[in-house]
């Protein structure tokens, strides 16, 4: 098993990770381990501890003791900010080896992995600033002989459960504000991408977080994750993953009415009007569905095209799709890597078959890529379906792969009805040059994020993020993301 090191992480060799509890590497109570193999080549990436409820208890107890001791919860804001800033500095210092490990775990091209790690450092810097800007309010004019004060305090022990698609960025959206608030944490990452979370915990510890403030335990979700959700010693759960799992976490968390924030699934509409800048919108549709091999909760998986531009738009999009280089993420020319595991590959292929059976027209793609180096990995073709109805499975259900469903609309009213005809409400985009259309759609779409003339980002990285309907509860990033980890106390003082 690995021991804690002060040296920067080195990427190539397969590593072994124990649990990280109370500042120490700790062997799993089960004595069992799990091998993570590259989805691109099948080579061993890392071996991780395969824990159980006992391991979860140890980590929870460590976080509980650290919080109750007050060393972190009551530390001056400047101290917490310094740890967050040093964490950002150390992430940047180790950017390349962290990105190489991330690329191997997820299968994403190294350039995209580098960008994810860089954005992660930015998140820690951002919340270092907010740690210095936490303050309450005073009420002085309501009554002549009373003063009111609102105070904000850390919520307590936070259980963090994260997915595999953006393993360091998505966990930073939780760790950074939780640490800024003064909380202590038990993180349970996906077994497919646990190594990067262990490395992040090491970095946070080396940056000065006291023992027990950050703990990482791995193991099966129905055991370790369920223990976090149900534990009376955990005050909040922050989860990113599927809507189905989010519902089970919500039920388990009811035991002690712990706070929850859930960032769940999506089936996001990407709406293009006839007056839009077509080339920009084609690029947005391409990026919207194919980023990270389509394994993105906010992916623009439903493309809504105004009828008059459909043929021209799809011709351009198909030509653009042909430029995708699917292959090994270590190849600099690769623009799309494999899917994460066999289960996800089978799921994507099943949906491709379902789309054909329901009568949609497959314009390109069609399933798994085989032959040569493709046989070593889990590769699928970027796929576009035309003539899709909104009641088809490929239009209703989250595929989490590079499969695009194309629908058409006559006018803004119909586009809005189609866009909102879903159980989800995570994200959406509108492409138009008409400011009135843009605002009408932005106001009418039931989603937590609406981009106009952009997809995934318009260059504003810290705006609050979260979903309507079954896409989640709560918000991440921004001041709202910090508030998720704070309790508000009202103090009323009667003057003598």
* DSSP one-letter string for 292-358: GGG--TT---EEEEEGGGHHHHHHHHHHHHTT--BS-TTSTT-SB---SSHHHHHHHHHHHHHHHHT
Question: Residue 176 and residue 167: Cα distance in Å, rounded?
Answer: 14
pLDDT more than 90, % of the chain: 97
Residue among 62, 77, 74 at smallest CA distance from 25: 62
> How many beta carbons lie within 10 A of that of residue 234, not counting itself?
24
| Global pTM value | 0.94
Q: 3: pLDDT confidence band, cut at 50, 70 and 90?
A: very low
- Please compute the mean of the pLDDT values over residues 373-377 and round it to a whole number: 95
Residues 6+ apart with CB under 8 A from 456: 287, 288, 291, 296, 298
User: What is the C-alpha to C-alpha distance for residues 333 and 419, in angstroms, rounded to an integer?
Assistant: 35
Please, are residues 21 and 179 in contact by the beta-carbon 8 Å criterion?
no
Q: What is the mean pLDDT of residues 355-361?
A: 96
Phi and psi at residue 365, to the nearest 5°:
95, -145
Long-range CB pairs of 42-47 (<8 Å, 24+ gap) are 42/376, 42/377, 43/14, 44/14, 45/14, 45/101, 45/104, 45/105, 45/195, 46/14, 46/15, 46/16, 46/17, 46/101, 46/105, 46/194, 46/195, 47/14, 47/15, 47/16, 47/17
Task: Report the Cα 455 to chain-centroid distance in Å.
Answer: 16
59-90 as b/e: b if 16+ CB within 10 A: bbbbbbbbbeeebbbebebeebbbbbbbbbeb
If phi > 0 it is left, if psi is from -120 to 50 it is alpha, else beta; for residue 472 that is left
Query: What's the pLDDT score for residue 11?
Result: 45
pLDDT value for 366: 86
- List, by residue number, the catalytic residues: 263, 297
State residue 12's pLDDT score. Answer: 52
Q: What domains are there in the chain, each with its CATH number?
A: 15-264+474-491 (3.40.605.10), 269-462 (3.40.309.10)
Express each pLDDT in 408-456 by its tens digit.
999 999 999 999 999 999 999 999 999 999 999 999 999 999 999 999 9
pLDDT at residue 8 greater than cutoff 80? no
Average the pLDDT over 264-286 and give the result.
98
């Amino acid at each position: 098993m690995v021991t804690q090191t002060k040296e920067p992480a080195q990427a190539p060799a397969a590593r072994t990770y124990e649990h990280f509890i109370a500042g120490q590497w700790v062997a799993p109570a089960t004595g069992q381990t799990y091998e993570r193999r590259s989805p691109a080549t099948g080579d061993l990436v890392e071996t991780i501890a395969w824990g159980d409820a006992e391991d979860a208890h140890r980590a929870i107890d460590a976080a509980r003791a650290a919080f109750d001791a007050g060393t972190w919860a009551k530390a001056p804001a400047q101290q917490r900010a310094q740890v967050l800033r040093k964490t950002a500095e150390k992430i940047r210092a180790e950017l390349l080896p962290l990105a190489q490990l991330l690329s191997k775990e997820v299968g994403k091209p190294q350039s995209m992995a580098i960008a994810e790690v860089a954005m992660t450092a930015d998140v820690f810097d951002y919340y270092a600033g907010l740690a210095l800007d936490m303050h309450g309010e005073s009420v002085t004019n309501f009554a002549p002989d009373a003063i009111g004060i609102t105070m904000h305090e850390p919520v307590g022990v936070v259980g963090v459960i994260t997915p595999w698609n953006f393993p360091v960025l998505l966990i930073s959206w939780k760790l950074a504000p939780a640490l800024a608030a003064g909380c202590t944490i038990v993180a349970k990452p996906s077994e497919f991408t646990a190594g990067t979370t262990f490395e992040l915990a090491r970095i946070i510890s080396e940056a000065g977080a006291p023992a027990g403030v950050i703990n990482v335990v791995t193991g099966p979700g129905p055991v370790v994750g369920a223990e976090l959700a149900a534990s009376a010693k955990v005050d909040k759960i922050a989860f990113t993953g599927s809507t189905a799992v989010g519902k089970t976490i919500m039920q388990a968390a009811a035991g002690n009415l712990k706070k929850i924030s859930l960032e769940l699934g999506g089936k996001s509409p990407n709406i293009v009007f006839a007056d839009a800048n077509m080339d920009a919108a084609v690029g947005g549709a391409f990026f919207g569905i194919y980023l990270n091999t389509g394994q993105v909760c906010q992916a623009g998986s439903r493309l809504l095209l105004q009828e008059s531009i459909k043929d021209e738009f799809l011709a351009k999009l198909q030509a653009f799709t042909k430029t995708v280089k699917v292959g090994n993420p270590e190849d600099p020319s690769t623009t799309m890597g494999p899917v994460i595991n066999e289960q996800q590959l089978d799921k994507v292929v099943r949906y491709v078959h379902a789309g054909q059976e329901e009568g949609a027209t497959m314009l390109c793609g069609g399933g798994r890529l085989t032959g040569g180096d493709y046989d070593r990995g889990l590769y699928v073709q970027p796929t576009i379906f035309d003539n899709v109805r909104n009641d088809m499975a490929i239009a209703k259900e989250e595929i989490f792969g590079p499969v695009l469903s194309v629908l058409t609309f006559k006018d803004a009213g119909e586009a809005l009805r189609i866009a909102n005809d879903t159980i989800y409400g995570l994200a959406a985009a509108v492409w138009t040059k008409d400011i009135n259309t843009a605002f009408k759609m932005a106001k009418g779409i039931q989603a937590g994020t609406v981009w106009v003339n952009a997809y995934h980002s318009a260059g504003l990285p810290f705006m609050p993020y979260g979903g309507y309907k079954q896409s989640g509860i709560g918000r991440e990033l921004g001041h709202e993301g910090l508030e998720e980890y704070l309790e508000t106390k009202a103090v009323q003082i009667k003057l003598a």
